Amino acid sequence: MVKENLAEVEARISKACERAGRNREEVTLIAVSKTKPVSMMEEAIGAGIVDFGENKVQEIVDKYEAIPQKLNWHMIGHLQRNKVKYIVDKVCMIHSVDSLKLAETISELAVKKNVVVPILIEVNMAGEDTKFGVAPEAAPGLVEAAAKLPGIRVNGLMTIAPFVENPEDNRIHFRNLRKLSVDITGKNIDNVSMSALSMGMTGDYEVAIEEGATMVRVGTGIFGARNYAVPDSL
Ligand SMILES: *Cc1c(COP(=O)(O)O)cnc(C)c1O
């Protein structure tokens, strides 16, 4: 099932790139494997996927140990400062930095482990109470402050758009995140690149690609619906 789903997602990504006049290579598909077993991830690996997204520290650590292949692990969920130490040298990117304190903790531990961790600033574009992320107005300041820290590199912005029936309703949020990244690029802050725009999930990744996403995070569309009540075994 994973292979078929991936083929479908891949075709849709290609079409969205075509519509937007973009190269397929500009968009990284991150397979969001949270709650899903290693066996399903291995199917995805067999189909050529190397980028995986997870939102829980423990799950990254467990799966990291269980899978021998070298994969790109993306931390996409809310991250508590006391757990950074478990993943700082395992992940290829932390998408969910939404405070200077968290950036400082990542920085400290990255320096200790002699790594440089690419991070994205998570922005709450729709101002939803239920979501993490900084307000758009606060993003440039956080980027500027985080850029001064050693051991991390600000690589761009991330957003989790609202859950909507019609993906067109999220176009404005994706467009505004892109505008925000262009504004921040214009500030020419040292040690900052705004090359990554992590936006778009199963319901809206095609619209996100049309609006400039460089990373889409697709879970359900690849692995099927998640069941949080009964945790999948590894
Ligand atoms: C779960 C999750 C996704 C994937 O959501 P789907 O709708 O299943 O594609 C993407 N991004 C984040 C931050 C998530 O937590």
Q: What is the pLDDT of residue 136?
A: 98
CA 185 distance to own-chain centroid: 20
Is the CB of residue 158 below 6 angstroms from any atom belonging to ligand 1?
no
Domain membership of residue 234 (yes or no) is no
232 within domain boundaries? no
Tell me the residue range of the domain where 47 lies. Answer: 2-223
Q: Is 219 in the pocket of ligand 1 (CB under 6 A)?
A: yes
**Average pLDDT for consecutive 10-residue bins of the chain (234 residues)?**
97 98 98 98 98 98 97 98 98 98 98 98 96 97 98 98 97 98 97 97 98 98 86 51
Output Rg (C-alpha) for the chain, integer angstroms: 17
Q: Give the chain's count of helices (H) and strands (E).
A: 9, 8
Answer yes or no: is 59 within a domain. yes
Determine the pLDDT at residue 227: 85
The verdict on residue 99 lying in a domain is: yes
- What is the structure's pLDDT at 228? 77
Residue 38 lies in a domain: yes
Name the residue of 28, 35, 74, 76 to mutate for ligand 1: max ligand atoms within 8 A of Cβ. 76
pLDDT at 229: 66
CATH number at residue 213: 3.20.20.10
- Dump strand ranges (E) for 160-201: 192-198
Looking at the domain assignment, is residue 231 inside a domain? no
In a domain, 189, yes or no: yes
Spacing, Cα 177 to ligand 1 middle (Å): 17
Ligand 1 atom closest to the CA of 217, numbered from 1: 10
Q: What's this model's pTM, rounded to 2 decimal places? A: 0.96
pLDDT at 14: 98
Coil, strand or helix at 216: strand
**Residue 229 falls inside a structural domain:** no
What is the number of domains present in the chain? 1
